[in-house]
Amino acid sequence: MMRTAGRTKPHPHDDAPDTSAAFARLSGLPQGPERKALRDELIQVWLPMAERIAVRFRGRGESLEDLYQVAALGLVKAVDHYDPARGHAFEAYAVPTVTGEIKRHFRDHMWTLHVPRRVQDLRNRVRRAAKELAQTTPGRAPTVEEIAAYAHLTAEEVRAGMEALECFTALSLEAEMPGTDGYALGDAIGGVDPAFDTVVDRVAAQPCLMALPERERTILYLRFFRGMTQSCIARQLGISQMHVSRLLSGCFARLREEILTETG
């Protein structure tokens, strides 16, 4: 079984267990029921991370339920292709794989990146100007200044149009980088800074925390910022440990409900 508690180091995604040993075991298992069961378990425990990534893309014209499905597909690919022997943590491989799957979904199926109409127009004018100028500048691509003069645009507008052109020609994260021996583009991407999720979570929780009664706020502070046990908190506040436990459970339930309501 995978370990879900007792980690000495907090995981960037606290709802996911330490799966390094499970992936090592998976890589050595032959095809069969045991491998399938372990693979399915790994997908299940990392699914919250994939869904958290999907949430970042909501509001772009695709339903959150569909984004969850695309993210889950990316997660399945990550679990199937991850090689623990390469020395990278699974998360460092999975995050860009899931993100890339969602971006490919937008790129291949819809204009839901919501490129502003003005930028779409710049994109078309820049593409047309570059194509026509290419006939008069054989052997080289036209410069930004040449395109700007030809299309009656500023250099900044030309660069914006070029960026819009590149939005639809993204490389796969699994594409091999030139001059390497099987080194994928995704391998060059650094790991996710765990502080990002912490900042987002704290900003979301702050208004809800401020609305709690003073005693509950004090208990949360002593527990999670001072690292005190429930027994120590109980002695300091002159109440029972069971009462502290009930108050903490009530705080968690209230915060969870209010945060989900705000972000749902």
- For tokens 């709802």, name the residue: 15
Residue 168: pLDDT band with limits 50, 70, 90 = low
* Residues 149 and 126: beta-carbon distance below 8 Å: no
pTM of the model: 0.40
Q: What pLDDT shows up at residue 153?
A: 92
Sequence spans of domains, the chain: 20-112, 117-166, 194-263
Q: 78-82, 115-119, 137-141, 203-207: lowest mean pLDDT where?
A: 115-119
pLDDT digits (tens, 9 = 90+) for 36-72: 999 999 999 999 999 999 998 887 667 888 899 999 9
CATH code for the domain defined by 117-166:
1.10.10.10
Q: 37-51, 75-89, 187-201, 203-217: lowest mean pLDDT where?
A: 187-201
Residue 196: pLDDT band with limits 50, 70, 90 = confident
Which CATH number is correct for 194-263, 3.40.50.300, 1.10.10.10, 1.10.357.10, 3.10.20.340? 1.10.10.10
Asked if domains 20-112 and 117-166 share a fold, the reply is no
pLDDT greater at residue 168 or residue 211: 211
pLDDT digits (tens, 9 = 90+) for 67-120: 999 999 999 999 999 998 888 889 888 999 999 898 888 766 655 455 677 877
Q: What pLDDT shows up at residue 112?
A: 43
Class of domain 20-112: mainly alpha
Mean pLDDT of the 132-138 span: 83
